[in-house]
A and B are shown apart, each in its own frame.
Chain A
Amino acid sequence: MPDPKLAVALDSEGRAAPPRRNGELVFETPWEGRLFGITMALHEAGHFEWEEFRALLIQEIARWERAAAERPDAEWSYYRHWQAALETLLARKGLAGQAELDDRARSLAARPAGHDH
């Protein structure tokens, strides 16, 4: 159920890809795109207010920045913070718990080779 306002934007612009010189992959890896799409879908379905998510994202980024001040080689991944913020939000809303996620991720990791895509 795309946002109707979004649909307007698509109709007026759908055929035109962004110009090449502006080009840059929006998502560096497929999981970043999935994570983004999941978050947007949850928000569109009315499961949370965007501002609540944004506040958590700011907290995660600030926490990383404090840690990075002491560890200059700390790896920066924007969508890692996004992921952490979303997990906190889902737990807070009672939509999905950490333990549940841990279990599922473990069983996905244990899939036999060739079934891991």
Chain B
Amino acid sequence: MGGGDPRETSRPDLALRVEALEAILQEKGLIDPQAVDGLIRAFEQDIGPMNGARVVARAWVDPDYKRRLLSDGTAAIVELGFGGPQGERMIVVENTPQVHNVVVCTLCSCYPWPVLGLPPAWYKSPAYRSRVVREPRAVLAEMGLELSEDVEIRVWDSSAEVRYLVLPERPPGSKSLGEDELAARVTRDAMIGVAKAGDA
């Protein structure tokens, strides 16, 4: 932390402030430090985009599941055992050869934690949040996803009430793959809509 960047100098202050906060809350019996450790571990290590990838892979192999997923995302995701904070109302939007969906939260960083873990840094950045709405095609191209002009791009703005998950197109040539192999091809970025599901 710090490095040579003068703009970074305030960071150590924040570290101290968080330490002070934790100590005070702990002394008052408002938080249990072990609960804090457990929550950090859960979000760093256990909850990640693999949950979402399993949802997508199931939808690719099971048309009935896909129908349920698109009509009631929350219930279909809970069916696979994924639920919890920040996943209360999930809407799943399907990519097709004609339509590409991409998700943003323009106001802050609402994101479907139970299926994707915590959002990457760029998702929270002011640039992505403001630009992807105004010029989605350009932003996606900068992120490495070139879409042809005849593909319609739909941008979904997440909120406290609704979180979106993109159901990417099944990659070409993946017919022979099983559900686990398919899940391995689904990246976090594909489920936000800034990439396609692709080669493992």
Contact = CB atoms under 8 A, between A and B. Distances in A.
Contact of B84 (A5, A42, A47, A62): A5
Given A27-B44, A36-B43, A1 B35 contact: yes
A35 B25 CA distance: 12
A104 B49 contact: no
Interface residues of A, number: 67
A28 interface: yes
Contact of B11 (A29, A38, A41, A68): A29
A100 B27 CA distance: 12
A80 B107 contact: no
B14 interface: yes
Given A3-B84, A22-B187, A104-B20, A36 B40 contact: yes
B44 to A, nearest CB: 5
- Interface residues of A: mostly helix, strand, loop or mixed? helix
B99 interface: no
B31 A31 contact: no
Contacts, number: 186
B15 A16 contact: no
Contact of B107 (A26, A43, A61, A101): A61
B145 interface: no
Contact of A22 (B10, B84, B188): B188
B190 to A, nearest CB: 9
A10 B51 contact: no
Contacts of B28: 95-96
Given A1-B35, A19-B50, A78-B109, A42 B30 contact: yes
Given A22-B188, A40-B85, A9 B21 contact: no
Nearest to A17: B45
19 contacts: A2-B42, A9-B82, A10-B42, A13-B48, A17-B45, A27-B44, A33-B40, A36-B39, A36-B118, A40-B39, A41-B32, A43-B85, A58-B108, A76-B125, A77-B14, A78-B109, A96-B25, A101-B20, A101-B24
Interface of A: 1-3, 5-6, 8-14, 16-19, 21-22, 24, 26-31, 33-38, 40-45, 47, 50-51, 54, 57-58, 61-62, 64-65, 68, 73, 75-80, 83, 86-87, 90, 95-96, 100-101, 104-105, 108-109
A-B pairs with lowest CB-CB distance, top 6: A18-B48, A104-B20, A37-B36, A37-B40, A31-B15, A22-B188
Interface of B: 1, 7-8, 10-11, 13-25, 28, 30-32, 35-40, 42-51, 53-54, 80-86, 107-110, 114, 117-118, 120-121, 124-126, 160, 184, 187-189
